[in-house]
Structures are given as structure tokens and as C-alpha cells.
Amino acid sequence: MTRPVRTLAKGARSAAALALLALAACGGAESRTPARDAAAPVLVTLASAAGAGPDRLRAGDLAGARAAFEADLARDPDGLGALNDLAASYLLEGHADAASRLLDEVVAKGDVGDQQAALVNLGELYATQGYVSAAQAYLDTARSLDGSRPGPWYALALLADSRGDLERARAALREALARDDGGAARAAFAYVYAEERVHLEALVAEQAGDGTTAAERWRTLAAGRFVALAAAAERHLAGE
């Protein structure tokens, strides 16, 4: 992909308009070639937490997951939750352009729950490419659609932490945990990169007062491939 702001499908609902307004508020398009060290991946969210497709996707069987999602869509072509989840499988396989097209369709035509999942995944897509302002706009829009769901709050916490805004990261994490009693939402996430899971586990352990687990996770993240996430880990290890 070459740019973080696109014209969304004609007839898009308010979610698309809100996302574009948020993008404008944060300064619109970013550099076409962000520095590699700007990448700050967060997480992937599925519209369906359980079922053959989600279970296979989280187990790493992307071909099997894709086949299950395609079967769901064959039975119900208007099932935009399955379309979001199919897009998620493309994200995990590295097919960003294909994922983006499907996610735009969900934002344009889905119900609030499906739109929210798609917006979080668009945030993930741009965060992995280093377009963090665009990612922030999509995640803020996702949260604004339904603040009672924990997914956008978790993603916002991860993005804020990667950007060095520890106060905002901790506040967003508290909001997420308050809406995710028992951790069911957290357990249903998928991840493009292993570092995303480690980052979330570190934040949650730290919030819970489990310093031993948090420190182990931060050390793992500090040795990872993403400069922004490694820097975040070093800040936590330094006691910030």
C-alpha cells in the first residue's frame, strides 16, 4: 500500500465519515514512505469469537480459516462479520491490499459491531506500516461507535504505549480491563506478529502487579524486530 487515506465506498455509513473526519483532525495523510522503525502493530479482532474459522485462524491454520470464512459467505453473502474475519486472515498472511478492500466494504455496509471490528483492523493495518496517526484515527473511531466493547480500548492502549504516551496507555488499558471481566475478549484476539501478543501480555501483567511476568515479557519485546515496540519495552524496564 502507498497511502494511508483512501476514498471509502460510496454510500458508507457514519463510521466511514467519522474515520475520515478523524484522519483530517490528525493531519490527514502521512508520509508515503514512513520510516521502518515507525511500525507499531497492535492486534487483530474478529467479528466472531468462536467457530471453525476463528478457531483455525488463531491456531495458525490460515488456509483452513479462509475456507471456513468463504463457506460462511457462500451461505450468507451479506454476512459482513465473516467478511471482516476473511480480511483478518488476509492481514495475517500479509495481503494488506486485499484486506483493506474487504475492510472498507465492512465499514461501508456493516452493522456497528462489524464496523467496529473492521475499523480496529484498519488501525492494525496502518500501524504495521508505520502510519500511526492514521491508525490512531481508525481506532478512535472504532471506540466512538461503542465504548462498551473492550477491543478498541486494548488496541488504543498498545498504540499509545508504542508512541511513548504511558499515561494514555494505562488509562486505555484500565478501560479495556473494566469491560473484559475474565479476559474473554483478550483471549479472542489474533496477532499478525508474535510481538503484539507479548506487548499486550506485558501491559496486562504490569497493570495486575505481576512484576516478574511483566519484566520477562518486556525483555522479550525489547529483543524483538520492531524498534518502536522495543523502545516501549525499554521504557518500562527502566521503570517509567
Q: What is the dihedral of CA 99, 102, 103, 107, to 10 degrees?
A: 170
Say whether domain 41-192 belongs to CATH 3.90.1150.10: no
Mean pLDDT of 55-78: 94
Instruction: Find the Cα–Cα–Cα–Cα dihedral 31, 41, 230, 136, rounded to 10°.
Output: 60
Distance of CA 53 to the CA centre of its chain: 18
- Residue 227, all three cell numbers: 524498534
Q: 64 phi and psi, to 5 degrees?
A: -65, -40
pTM: 0.86
Tell me the residue type at 207: Q
Residue 16: its pLDDT value, please? Answer: 47
Quick: pLDDT tens for 102-144.
999 999 999 999 999 999 999 999 999 999 999 999 999 999 9
